A and B are shown apart, each in its own frame.
Chain A
């Protein structure tokens, strides 16, 4: 979608991890438009900032998880969602797969993986 902005929305309820991600993204030359810690905030932020890319943690504070937020964002905004998860549970993976993920990254993230993935998704 052409009306999306060239920025990254970080959805992560751990402050330090979110900050680490922000630093790395900024070092790549990208801008971070917002950081959200809950699914609701994430949806609201996505709708407000219309980011081209969302880095989405699976586990979030509150009742809804990353998949719920991603579905809503995919439907209302159309951002590319890159999931970041600490889990390799088959159930989690199956749930992510229902949600048109642009990519899935596992914690701990290497800077290389993050950079490659964002570049690759943006190039699509």
Chain B
């Protein structure tokens, strides 16, 4: 028997319908049921497969495909049951049932151990629960997220504030640094470019740390020549000791500033005068001296000018002193001369006295004695000159008083009253001598002729006229010249008269004589050129 036969008609068996005696009812029930079952069994796995395909996330999906295969196999057996009603293909039916059995066993065998694992899979409720919790925690998370964001924002704004502050502080600091740099630059510029000398010295070693051009040039150097050099070596040797003493006081803090005018030693060996103002920069905490700072003004020109001025002043003072001494010497000599003149006049006077005693003729005796009063007038002028401060002029008023009194008291035996009235007038020798001699002559004349044996009054006056001229008036209340033509000035022919005429002429004066009430002689002349 062939395989084909075995599959479709093994051993001549009868179809299954035969068993049913071909009863139409039975056959129909079987056919309809198997068709429906077969169709359903084909439909169910298709639906399962479609479902599984749509849900690739399902775990154990392959089990579903096992079910698909097993159910399809079951459906096929039902279709084979329809076929075998009419065709005895029990071979094929057996093979299909065997395949279905294998799939069934496999499915059954796999399904049991799968149960605990499938049961472990979360259920939908669980998932929903989980989901809910997830949402809750999501909300919580969102809340905490919000809080976090708020805190982040807060921190951010804090940071921004801090940042702004920091930026501001940085800006301030930068400004301060700029200001510092500007100050430094300004200081440097003012130090370097100053017209006055500026120096910075190490207070301990005394060496120059920094000097500017003005200072270096004042000494005939460039700044770089001086830096690092001992400052004292540029001070004029004679000024060093005093300078050191002052500087020591400054260093010790006894004085806060230090001012000196001193000489510096120029490169060419010459001194140059500078005015140094020094001070010390100290550590604010330890008070240790850090730097000594000096400003040096070039006062050489000024000093030289001052020295020249002082020399000139000294010369002038010497000259004034010499002149004063010369003047004093001149005064001394003048006084000596006046003294000698007076002494000589005294000798002349003595000679006249001695001579007068020798002569017996009364006229000659009188003439000699009248010479005495003229000599006295000359001597009195010198006496007045000697008493004046300038030794060249004196006030005429006391002179006239003394002179007239001497004539009147020396010559009169009777009671004659003398009135002298003179303006104050400074006169010199050239004016006083002729004036004195005139007064002597006129008063002597009045004494001799105006008062024969009777008392009377003589007035001697010196006046200043409206035109500035000077008038000398000698007047008496005596007999007048009409009664005795011999006595009036200028009218007589004796020595006295010619002396009067000559002196009036010498003085450039004008004389007028009135003789109606006593005698009045007035001589008018220009005022002396005041000394």
Residues 95-112 of A, flagged 1 when their CB comes within 8 A of B and 0 if not, give 000000000001111111
From A18, which residue of chain B is reached at the shortest CB distance? B350
B406 touches A112 (CB 8 A): yes
A16 touches B347 (CB 8 A): yes
Task: With both chains docked as a complex, state the minimum distance between the C-beta of A65 and any C-beta of chain B, in angstroms.
Answer: 14
A20 touches B349 (CB 8 A): yes
Task: With both chains docked as a complex, state the minimum distance between the C-beta of A116 and any C-beta of chain B, in angstroms.
Answer: 8
Residues 343-378 of B, flagged 1 when their CB comes within 8 A of A and 0 if not, give 101110111011001000000000000001001100
Task: With both chains docked as a complex, state the minimum distance between the C-beta of B219 and any C-beta of chain A, in angstroms.
Answer: 59
Interface residues of A in 72-109 (CB under 8 A from B): 86-89, 106-109
Contact of B335 among A20, A24, A87, A106 (CB under 8 A): A87
From B339, which residue of chain A is reached at the shortest CB distance? A86
From A84, which residue of chain B is reached at the shortest CB distance? B346
Task: With both chains docked as a complex, state the minimum distance between the C-beta of A11 and any C-beta of chain B, in angstroms.
Answer: 15
The interface-forming segment of B181-189, B379-387, B427-435 is B379-387
B354 touches A20 (CB 8 A): yes
From A23, which residue of chain B is reached at the shortest CB distance? B353
Contact of B350 among A16, A89, A106, A116 (CB under 8 A): A16
Using A107-B343, A110-B410 as known contacts, say yes or no to A88 and B349 having CB atoms under 8 A apart: no
B386 touches A87 (CB 8 A): yes
A21 vs B352: C-alpha distance when bound (angstroms):
11
Contact of A20 among B340, B351, B383 (CB under 8 A): B351
Using A20-B350, A23-B354 as known contacts, say yes or no to A107 and B342 having CB atoms under 8 A apart: yes
Using A20-B353, A108-B375, A108-B376 as known contacts, say yes or no to A86 and B406 having CB atoms under 8 A apart: no
Report A-chain residues with C-beta under 8 Å of the C-beta of B335.
87, 89
A89 vs B383: C-alpha distance when bound (angstroms):
11
Q: Does A30 contact B (CB under 8 A)?
A: no
Contact of A88 among B340, B372, B380, B386 (CB under 8 A): B386
Q: Does A4 contact B (CB under 8 A)?
A: no
A83 vs B313: C-alpha distance when bound (angstroms):
47
Report A-chain residues with C-beta under 8 Å of the C-beta of B357.
23, 27
Task: With both chains docked as a complex, state the minimum distance between the C-beta of A113 and any C-beta of chain B, in angstroms.
Answer: 7
Q: Does A41 contact B (CB under 8 A)?
A: no
Q: Does B409 contact A (CB under 8 A)?
A: yes
Task: With both chains docked as a complex, state the minimum distance between the C-beta of B327 and any C-beta of chain A, in angstroms.
Answer: 16
Please report the total number of B residues contacting A with Cβ < 8 Å.
25
A17 touches B346 (CB 8 A): yes
B354 touches A106 (CB 8 A): no
B354 touches A109 (CB 8 A): no
Task: With both chains docked as a complex, state the minimum distance between the C-beta of A117 and any C-beta of chain B, in angstroms.
Answer: 12
A24 vs B335: C-alpha distance when bound (angstroms):
27
From B373, which residue of chain A is reached at the shortest CB distance? A110
Report B-chain residues with C-beta under 8 Å of the C-beta of A6.
none
A109 touches B353 (CB 8 A): no
Contact of B346 among A87, A108, A116 (CB under 8 A): A108
Main secondary structure, interface of B, reads helix
How many chain A residues sit at the interface, stated as a range, is 20 to 34
A111 touches B346 (CB 8 A): no
From A113, which residue of chain B is reached at the shortest CB distance? B406
Q: Does A119 contact B (CB under 8 A)?
A: no
From B351, which residue of chain A is reached at the shortest CB distance? A16
Report A-chain residues with C-beta under 8 Å of the C-beta of B375.
108
A112 vs B379: C-alpha distance when bound (angstroms):
15
Interface centre among B349, B375, B387 (most CB of A within 10 A): B349
A87 vs B335: C-alpha distance when bound (angstroms):
8
Task: With both chains docked as a complex, state the minimum distance between the C-beta of B373 and any C-beta of chain A, in angstroms.
Answer: 8
B406 touches A17 (CB 8 A): no
Interface residues of A in 19-72 (CB under 8 A from B): 19-21, 23-24, 27
Report A-chain residues with C-beta under 8 Å of the C-beta of B406.
110, 112-113
Residues 377-413 of B, flagged 1 when their CB comes within 8 A of A and 0 if not, give 0011001001100000000000000000010011000
Using A16-B350, A108-B349 as known contacts, say yes or no to A88 and B387 having CB atoms under 8 A apart: yes
Q: Does A120 contact B (CB under 8 A)?
A: no
Using A23-B357, A86-B346 as known contacts, say yes or no to A111 and B386 having CB atoms under 8 A apart: no
Report A-chain residues with C-beta under 8 Å of the C-beta of B347.
14, 16-17, 20
A27 vs B383: C-alpha distance when bound (angstroms):
26
From B335, which residue of chain A is reached at the shortest CB distance? A89
From A21, which residue of chain B is reached at the shortest CB distance? B350
A17 vs B354: C-alpha distance when bound (angstroms):
10
Task: With both chains docked as a complex, state the minimum distance between the C-beta of B360 and any C-beta of chain A, in angstroms.
Answer: 15
B346 touches A19 (CB 8 A): no
Report B-chain residues with C-beta under 8 Å of the C-beta of A18.
350
A118 vs B353: C-alpha distance when bound (angstroms):
18
Report B-chain residues with C-beta under 8 Å of the C-beta of A113.
406
A24 vs B354: C-alpha distance when bound (angstroms):
9
B350 touches A17 (CB 8 A): yes
From A85, which residue of chain B is reached at the shortest CB distance? B339
Contact of A109 among B339, B349, B351 (CB under 8 A): B349
6 residue pairs of the A-B complex, CB under 8 angstroms, read A14-B343, A20-B349, A20-B350, A86-B340, A86-B342, A108-B346
Instruction: Please give 12 more A-B residue pairs, beta carbons under 8 A apart, in addition to A14-B343, A108-B383, A112-B409.
Output: A14-B346, A17-B347, A17-B350, A20-B346, A20-B350, A23-B350, A24-B353, A87-B335, A107-B379, A108-B376, A111-B372, A112-B410
- 10 smallest A-B Cβ distances: which pairs? A20-B350, A108-B379, A112-B410, A86-B339, A112-B409, A86-B342, A107-B346, A88-B387, A107-B342, A16-B347
